[in-house]
Amino acid sequence: MSQQKILVVALMQRGAASPATYELLTAGRSLANALKQPLVAFQVGGTAESARELVERGADRVLWSGGAALQDFNDELHAQAVLAAAAQEKPSWLLLPASVAGRSLACRVAVKLGAGLATDVNEIDPASGTVKRSHYSGNLQATMEFKSEVRVVTVQGMVFPQAPRQAGRSGEVAELAFAPAAAGMEFLSFQAEEAGEIDLGGAERIVSGGRGVGGPDGFKLIRDLAHALGAAVAASRAAVDSGWIPYRHQVGLTGRTVRPKLYVACGISGQIQHLAGMSTAGSIVAINMDPECPMMQQATISVVGDMFELIPLVIAEIKKRRGAPVAA
């Protein structure tokens, strides 16, 4: 049998690789080292030049397929391309990002390969071949065993550090010819939301507001603090359902799962459905008037008080430390 490989799927979206791709390379590298298998990246979309960067970030070999058909995410066409790469490389592990596209792809690819699939994986054990992921909304951590030769995994964001770029690192870059077969989906358009905002999934710092924010105007304060910290803006469901901020900012069971280094929860009580999306944050800062609420119990650092009084003072203090003039 030909040698098996670790295959990382590098999805180009809107012409760029996401930071999640470089996290996958870190996960893939440790598997490759442990199993003594080469690390191959398959770049879907992009150019030879962007493919070269994957070599510099640790791939032994990079295959890439470009062309108009792979420009925007199309479940079926992207799956066809990944399956072509998998047929050639015979991966023992196939790693994808835990994004909407990554999950859609993983579903199609796993069925066609007859492979087991574990999503949102936060730990990989090469020795036993098992992975860990949370279930029951973060209340339990599951250890999954595979019964298939190929293991398909989507890796949760922010779990692995991004593989650093080592300029001049050598490795092969080859184009994989891809002739798209018919697909039942046609891409029409893309509408970016709130340009310039930091995406929650890859954010290292997040400032989040809940019902305590009091209304849409209160989110101005949350945004100001986020701006001062270089953080993304998030919200609880109560704030989203009140129409104070769009759904895409919602963190939790029905919203998104985040894993920042710092999560600042302002006026959020910390119900289990909210904790489900953020309880694995590195450090949690809670600002709340209620010292007994669950978020305050979970917090690394808790501050009892009125957020409307505290946040402007915190912003002023940050500006002061940075030497910026403080607004009167």
Ligand X SMILES: Cc1cc2nc3c(=O)[nH]c(=O)nc-3n(C[C@H](O)[C@H](O)[C@H](O)COP(=O)(O)OP(=O)(O)OC[C@H]3O[C@@H](n4cnc5c(N)ncnc54)[C@H](O)[C@@H]3O)c2cc1C
Where do contacts with ligand X occur on this chain (CB under 6 A)? 210-212, 236-239, 250, 252-255, 267-269, 271, 273-274, 277, 287-290, 293, 306-308
Nearer to ligand X, 92 or 302 (CB): 302
Report CA-CA distances (Å) from 97 to 108, 118, 158, 231, 236: 14, 12, 11, 22, 25
Handedness of CA 52, 57, 61, 62 (dihedral sign): negative
Nearer to ligand X, 21 or 119 (CB): 119
Residue 271 interacting entry, from ligand X, other proteins, none, C-beta within 5 to 8 Å by type: ligand X
CB of 168 to other proteins, least distance (A): 31
Residue 212 interacting entry, from ligand X, other proteins, none, C-beta within 5 to 8 Å by type: ligand X
Nearer to other proteins, 43 or 250 (CB): 250
Nearer to ligand X, 8 or 287 (CB): 287
- CB distance 282 to 260 below 8 Å: yes
Report CA-CA distances (Å) from 36 to 28, 53, 59, 211: 11, 22, 13, 51
CB of 244 to ligand X, least distance (A): 10
Closest among 160, 262, 154 to 208, alpha carbons compared: 262
CB of 70 to ligand X, least distance (A): 32
Report CA-CA distances (Å) from 108 to 77, 80, 145, 157, 239: 11, 9, 20, 21, 35
Residue 313 interacting entry, from other proteins, ligand X, none, C-beta within 5 to 8 Å by type: other proteins
Q: What are phi and psi of 293, to 5 degrees?
A: -70, 155
CB of 216 to ligand X, least distance (A): 14
Structure tokens at 300: 């690394």
Residue 227 interacting entry, from other proteins, ligand X, none, C-beta within 5 to 8 Å by type: none
Residue carrying the six token digits 């420009």:
71
Nearer to ligand X, 47 or 297 (CB): 297
Closest among 303, 310, 272, 270 to 285, alpha carbons compared: 303
CB of 296 to ligand X, least distance (A): 8
